Chain A
Amino acid sequence: MKRIILIITIVSLTSCSAPTNLYTWNKYENSSYNFLKNTNETTTNKLSEEYQKIIRKQKGIRGAVPPGVYADYGFLLLQTNNMAQAKEMLQKEIELYPESKIFIDKIIKLTE
């Protein structure tokens, strides 16, 4: 009996803690909507914070920063004239996702 209870408990705990999605996004979509609807300093800062959180901590199955996040964070940094850090983010996008090179290289050239 004890063994059955133990097995059920382990299965329950495992199923609760295992990630089910490739990535975690926190409150990205609401911040993204607010930025899209009304781009200003507040919505830009909020979205920027979301990107930083997504980059800092990933609890998804892959444990990797989702596609597009480094690059779009780089885009926000470009908007705020933080060129060096923006280029760094764009380069990280290419390193993590080589398939982005065709497009991201064009953006990097536009900044030079």
Chain B
Amino acid sequence: MKKSIITLLLITSVVITSCTSTAPVLKSVAYKGMYDEKPLVALIMPPINRSTNIDAKEYFHSTIYTPIADAGYYVIPPFLSMEIMKKESAFDAELFINSPLNKFSEVFGADIAIFTIIHKWDKSSIGSNVSVEIEYIIKSTRTNEVLYTRRGEIKYDTSVSTGLGGIGGLVANLAVSAANTAAAKYVDVARICNYYILKDLPAGKYSQNNGTDGALFAGANKFKVNLSAQ
């Protein structure tokens, strides 16, 4: 499934991407703080939803954990940490995004806090297009410095064609769950947005690319991209 998503993203981004063009920068330069601090333990903060879609928060909250773990980080167990944050009245990430984060280091042992701001989640009237504007801000819990930030406008066409080879076939695999409910379809959209933006994350301790990926070029920190299932 994940392999299909990544393959799909690679193909579609080459074919129909409209990224803003900037001079290429190495990851070790773009995300210098990440390479200097070498964080291991990541705490997912509840997404901040500034969009008009009340469900967008859950779409992102349920899909941000796996790409960060897959990037090689230790992720504080998301449901357990959510429960503790609720009990400690710390479930509104908006309260902490500009505040000292050292308490999260003490309580959770976190090196970094991952903030997600959903700026926009709009569905087209015919229902097949979703337009998302999402921003990720990773801050050090020790220094409060922003170590990683990317903001993207992603337009995703959720209409799928089945029974095809190539990209169509991949999308058919990707969209198995989409056949069930609209919610499952939008979970897939959030998953794709997360993977697309977080694919630039420096490789963590458990990744086979740890310590070597700084020599690769970083993606643009602000971008627009059209992803399509066709």
Contact partners of B72 in chain A: CB under 8 A = 22
15 contacts between A and B (CB under 8 A): A22-B72, A23-B69, A24-B2, A29-B62, A29-B191, A67-B73, A67-B75, A67-B77, A67-B206, A68-B76, A74-B80, A75-B80, A76-B79, A99-B41, A102-B108
Q: Is the CB of B66 within 8 A of A30?
A: no
**Across-interface contacts of A28 in B (CB, < 8 A):** 66
Determine the residue in chain B with the shortest Cβ distance to A96.
B74
Interface residues of B (CB under 8 A from A): 1-3, 6, 40-41, 55, 58-59, 61-63, 65-66, 69-70, 72-81, 83-84, 107-109, 177, 183-184, 187, 191, 206-208
- Please measure, in the bound complex, the distance between the C-alpha atom of A29 and the C-alpha atom of B185, giving whole angstroms: 12
For A21, the chain B residues whose CB sits under 8 A away are 2-3, 70
* B177, A107: Cβ atoms closer than 8 Å: no
Contacts of A76 in B (CB 8 A): 79
Beyond A20-B3, A72-B77, A103-B76, whether A66 also contacts B69 by CB under 8 A is yes
B22 vs chain A, min Cβ distance (A)? 28
Query: B58–A71 contact, CB under 8 A?
Result: no
A:5-35 near B, CB below 8 Å: 20-25, 27-30, 32-35
Tell me the number of A-to-B contacts counted with CB atoms below 8 Å. 102
Q: Which 4 A-B pairs have the closest CB atoms?
A: A102-B109, A68-B77, A33-B62, A71-B77
Residue in contact with B108 in the complex, picked from A32, A67, A72, A103, CB distance below 8 Å: A103
Given contacts A21-B2, A68-B75, A97-B74, contact A29 B66 (CB under 8 A): yes
CB-CB contacts below 8 Å: A28-69 with B:
28-30, 32-37, 61-62, 66-69
**A22: shortest Cβ distance to chain B, in Å?**
5
Q: In the bound complex, what is the Cα–Cα distance between A72 and B108 (angstroms)?
A: 14
Are A99 and B74 in touch, CB under 8 angstroms? yes
- Min CB distance, A50 to chain B, in Å? 12
Bound CA–CA A41/B208 (angstroms):
39
**Do A33 and B58 form a contact, CB below 8 Å, given A20-B6, A101-B109?**
yes
Query: CA separation between A107 and B109, bound complex, in Å?
Result: 13
Q: How far is the CA of A35 from the CA of B72 in the complex (A)?
A: 25
| CB <8 Å contact, B75 and A22 | no
Across the interface, name the chain B residue whose C-beta is closest to A37: B58
Contact residues in A for B79 (Cβ distance below 8 Å): 35, 72, 75-76
Bound-state Cα–Cα, A23 to B2, Å = 10
- Select B59's contact among A22, A33, A66, beta carbons within 8 Å: A33
Known: A72-B77, A99-B41. A22 touches B107 (CB 8 A): no
